Amino acid sequence: MSNAHTGDLTGSTEQSRAGSEDPAEQNGPLFFRVMTALELRNGVRRGDFSARELMLHTLERVEQQRELGAFTEVRADIALDEADAADRLITATPLSERHALPPLTGVPTAHKDLVRVRGFATTHGSKAVPHPIAENDDPIAAAVRAAGAICVSKTQVPEFGIAGYSENLVAPPARNPFDTARTAGGSSGGTAAAIASAAITAAIGSDAGGSIRIPSAACGLVGLKPGRGVVPADAQNGELDDLGAPRMAVSGPMARTVRDAALFFDAALGRTDEPSLNALDRAHDLSGLRIGISLDSPFASEMAILFDKAATDALHEAAARLEQAGHRPEQASFGYGTSYPDAFTTVWTQALTRVPLSAEAEANLGELAQWFLRRARGATSQHIAESVARLHDFARSATEQWGGYDIVLTPALAFAPPRVGEFWGLGPEGDYRLQCEWAPQTSMVNVTGLPAITVPIASDAAGLPRGLQLIGRKGSEVQLLQLAAQLLGQ
């Protein structure tokens, strides 16, 4: 694209991974150093470059990264039309007033292929359902659009978002930009690959069992899972699901820098005054928090949960940085009982019974979805009710135990991202078990409804990102972003 105004759109950016040079620069031609979303927003506002120029650059970048399987449908026509509209709005606004424009005006982004976006098809990653062109946006897509961001593409997901990796039968798998033989995680795996490969700078993902945090950790990003009902688009769905269980799905930002995550979080909140972004200017003032460090998992009663050395090394490094920042990290022990694995899986799989599927359509489901559906249909109404009650009990107990600390610190993932195809190769039961072993401390946070953030801390011997998870108290999203900024020196 033309860079007549600035000479370069690939200038300096904030350090996205603490303690070393950006790994994006260390992996050859796959990466290049891009401006952050905040820098792009400000550059478009100033007129350093046009939204159309930026979109053309983004479309070129998207095309260069096709082998990652991140993008399921690119609509250059829609994206360029919206970029032109953004340019008309910017041109019509005096420079002194452009600070009042929608906060993401002209910034390219993407949405998961579980979200309806006007003009795009929605596949839900499945051969079993139609793929209609959406006439209207889902609430979260509408919020991002209202903030001025422009959707360039839909991104790869697992079928109906049911897995922690992004492989399905309708599009190529989402691959990890740090090692394309490995998964990018899921269910926001395509989004994570798109951001980590520098095709886009940030996006809003969704998280019902770890779907923001798992791929963010796998791809070296900052991923914030807000608390239940914090984002207005999520609050419309209520506190409970159709079974009366705690509603687990929320929407939140994924980005290469903390400031970009805060920028997109504020946009999802509809806050044009950008309180989260502004709070990062005071991040260095935060100190004295009691932080409980834990490897405990509610899945440990059913399977061996083994964290590799790189995962625990990242945890120790994070604890050291937090102590240096004036906090009080200490070992913590939590008791989760034995009922969680069955209760969570029972409630988790019931969602598929609410998808209208004919017998013919069911035959087009992937193996994991078919197994989930069989399991869900085999559950009695009494067992479902008991599972719902057990999840509520778990949420109360975990929240009470974690409440003894300001923050709970855990590894983000137990080991390196598995290889593409490795989950499928184990059969559906082995597939699901490997997911639980890989991300043994994410879904429990969704059940409690509390906020959590994943932060990249280090790279392992193979150059793969390793990170940690910070679980906060209710309403602590801004505090979590501040802690992430402390950890990353941003």
Least confident of 2-11, 56-65, 321-330: 2-11
401 φ/ψ angles, rounded to the nearest 5 degrees: -65, -45
105, 86 Cβ separation under 8 angstroms:
yes
123, 72 Cβ separation under 8 angstroms:
yes
Domain membership of residue 16 (yes or no) is no
Note the pLDDT tens digit of each residue in 34-67: 799 999 999 999 999 999 999 999 999 999 999 9
Assign 326 to helix, strand or coil.
Answer: coil
Quickly count: other Cβ atoms within 10 Å of residue 3's Cβ.
Answer: 14
pLDDT at 5 over 60: no
| Tokens matching residue 406 | 């300001």
Domain membership of residue 188 (yes or no) is yes
- Please list, in sequence order, all residues whose beta carbon lies within 8 angstroms of the beta carbon of residue 145, skipping any fewer than 6 positions away: 118, 137, 151
The Cα-based distances of 177 to 15, 217, 408 in angstroms read: 18, 12, 29
Query: Domain residues for 112?
Result: 23-488
The CATH number of whichever domain residue 340 belongs to comes to: 3.90.1300.10
pLDDT value for 25:
42
What's the pTM value of the predicted model, to 2 decimals?
Answer: 0.94
pLDDT at 27 over 60: no
Quickly count: other Cβ atoms within 10 Å of residue 377's Cβ.
Answer: 11
pLDDT value for 34:
74
Domain membership of residue 241 (yes or no) is yes
Domain membership of residue 14 (yes or no) is no
Catalytic residue positions, numbered? 112, 187, 211
What total of structural domains would you count in the chain? 1
More confidently predicted of 421 and 12: 421
39, 257 Cβ separation under 8 angstroms:
no
Tell me how far apart the alpha carbons of residues 397 and 254 are, in angstroms, rounded to a whole number: 29
Note the pLDDT tens digit of each residue in 350-400: 999 999 999 999 999 999 999 999 999 999 999 999 999 999 999 999 999
pLDDT at 447 over 80: yes
pLDDT at 11 over 50: no
pLDDT value for 232:
98
Domain membership of residue 4 (yes or no) is no
Domain membership of residue 3 (yes or no) is no
Tell me how far apart the alpha carbons of residues 148 and 75 are, in angstroms, rounded to a whole number: 17
Domain membership of residue 390 (yes or no) is yes
Domain membership of residue 17 (yes or no) is no
The share of the chain scoring above pLDDT 70, in percent, equals: 93
Note the pLDDT tens digit of each residue in 291-309: 999 999 999 999 999 999 9
Quickly count: other Cβ atoms within 10 Å of residue 387's Cβ.
Answer: 23
148 φ/ψ angles, rounded to the nearest 5 degrees: 100, -5
